Amino acid sequence: MMKKYDAIVIGSGPAGNAAAYALKEQGKTTAIIESDLWGGTCPNRGCDPKKMLMSGVEAQKRIETMIGNGFEETPKIVWEDLMAFKKSYTDTVPQNTKNGLDAAEIDRYQGQASFINKTQIVVDDQTLTAEQFLIATGQRPAVLPIEGQEFLQSSTDFLSLDHLPEKIVFIGAGYIAFELAVIANAAGSEVHIIHHNDRPLKEFDVELVNDLVEHLKQAGINFHFNVNTKAIELLHPNYRVTGENFELVADMVIGATGRNPNVEGLNLENAGVSYDKRGIKVDDHLRTTQQHIFACGDVITKSQPKLTPVAGFEAAYVAKAMNGETKAIDYPLIPTIVFGDQRLARIGLSERELADHAENYHSETTDLSSWYTYHRINDQGAKIKFVYDEKNRIVSISCLSQLADEVINYLLIVLMKKMTHEEIERYIFAYPSPASDLSYFI
C-alpha cells in the first residue's frame, strides 16, 4: 500500500530538517528523505567541522601575535588530535539527527528520492505520495573539467584527513580555499593556492582582500594568480599540476572551484519542476514551477549567498508558505565571512552592484590597529571600510580583523534597526569589546 503524507521533505540538512519540524508542528503528517548523511553537509562535512579545525588555528595564531609580548614560541598543532576533536562533534551528528526526527514522529526514509510524477516519488523501491513537497538537497563540490580530474579531491576529503600531507595545492580562490588553506598552513603543510585570474574572493572588497592575501603570504601561503590549470598527473605517490608555463608537484590537490546543486537523480522533469545549472528555479514564495512543490536552501538559484543561516531563514519561511503564508519572502541583510586568524567580513550591497554603479558611491577606510580594542590583542592588520551612497547613507561595510565576525554582526543590527549615533550612545556596552566601539563607527 502506498504511504501518503501531507508533506514530504527531501534532504535532511539544516534547511530540510528545520522545515520538517515546523511542518510537523503545524499538524501535517510529515516524512523526510536523506540519500547520504543525516544532518546534511554543514554539520557533517561543511562549515561546522571546518570551524572545529579552525578553532585550533585561532588558538595558535592568538599566541603567535603575542610572541615577544609575553610568549616566546608558537604552539604546534597536532593534526591527529585536532581531527579527533572535530570528530567528537561530527561523529554524533547523523544519529542525533535521526533520534530527533524519531522523537518528533517524523517518518524517515534513507535513499535517493526520485519523482515519478507531480505527486508521487520513489525511494528505496518504496512509492510515497504527498499533497506538498519540499526539496532541500543542497550542493556538492564542483569538479574542474580538466585532464586528470579524477585525481582532484574536495573539501570533504580535506575535512576527513587522518594525517596532513606535507604539500597541498588548492585550485580556486574562494572562501573555502582560503579557509582550508589557513588551516593546512597553520598545521604545518606547505600550501599553494592557484587561481585563474588575479581577483580572489570576488564577493569581497578588493582593497581588504589584497590586505588579507598579503597577510597570508607573510604566514607562508603561496599564491599563483593568472594560472589556468590544464591537467593533473599522478606521479606515484604525488601529483603534478600543470598550466601554461606553470608546473607544481604536491601530495594532494584539492578542487575548490565552486559547488553544484544536488538535482541529479530527483527526475525533476517527471514532476515538471524547472531548474538550470545554478539550481532549482523558485518564485518569491519559494515555490517551484509546480505550486505544491517548494524548494529552499543551497539547491535553489538565487542572488543571496548560499550559506547555512540563509538556508535556515528560508526553512522557517517556507514552512509558513506551505501552510498558506501569502507574504513574499523578505531577506534581511546577510553577513558573509571568510574565517581565519584574520577574518574578512562584509554586509550590504554586493561588490558587483557597487562596481556597476561606482560613480554613485564613495568609501572611507579606517585603520583600527591603534584602537585599544585591537591594540590590546596586537591586531596590527585591523581595518574597516564603509561605502556610502550620494546621500551619505551606509550601503556596505567590510571589516578585516581578528574580531571581524563580531563587529559585522553588531553593525548588522545597527543597520537593520537604522540606529543613529545618538541611539547607540544610549547603550552602555562592556569595555573593551567590539560593541563598545560602535558609537565611533556610526
DSSP string, 12-61: -SHHHHHHHHHHHHTT--EEEEESS-TT-HHHHHSHHHHHHHHHHHHHHH
Integer Cα distance of 198 and 202 in angstroms: 10
C-alpha cell of residue 327: 507574504
Would you say 173 is a known binding-site residue? Answer: yes
Instruction: Compute the CA torsion angle 418, 422, 426, 428 (nearest 10 deg).
Output: 90
Integer Cα distance of 405 and 418 in angstroms: 20
Would you say 198 is a known binding-site residue? Answer: no
Cβ atoms of 289 and 173 closer than 8 Å: no
Would you say 319 is a known binding-site residue? Answer: no
C-alpha cell of residue 394: 551606509
Would you say 7 is a known binding-site residue? Answer: no
Would you say 298 is a known binding-site residue? Answer: yes
What one-character DSSP code corresponds to residue 223?
E
Give the residue from 155, 140, 114 showing the smallest Cα distance to 262.
140
Cβ atoms of 45 and 341 closer than 8 Å: no
Would you say 177 is a known binding-site residue? Answer: yes
Integer Cα distance of 246 and 207 in angstroms: 27
Pairing status of strand 252-255 against strand 167-171: parallel
Residue 432 preceded by cis peptide, ω within 30: yes
Would you say 56 is a known binding-site residue? Answer: no
Give the residue from 158, 154, 180, 170 showing the smallest Cα distance to 229.
170
Would you say 15 is a known binding-site residue? Answer: no
Would you say 111 is a known binding-site residue? Answer: no
3-class secondary structure, 86? helix
Q: Could you report how far apart the first and last alpha carbons of the chain are, in Å?
A: 64
User: Grid coordinates 550620494 are at which residue?
Assistant: 390
Integer Cα distance of 114 and 231 in angstroms: 35
Tell me the sheet residues that pair with 338.
344
Measure the CA angle with vertex 367, ends 361 and 372; round to 5°.
135
Cβ atoms of 442 and 436 closer than 8 Å: no
DSSP string, 326-366: -SPP------EEE-SSSEEEEEES-HHHHHHTGGG-EEEEE
Would you say 175 is a known binding-site residue? Answer: yes
Would you say 51 is a known binding-site residue? Answer: yes
Annotated binding site for FAD: 51, 298
Annotated binding site for NAD(+): 172-179, 258
Annotated binding site: 51, 172-179, 258, 298
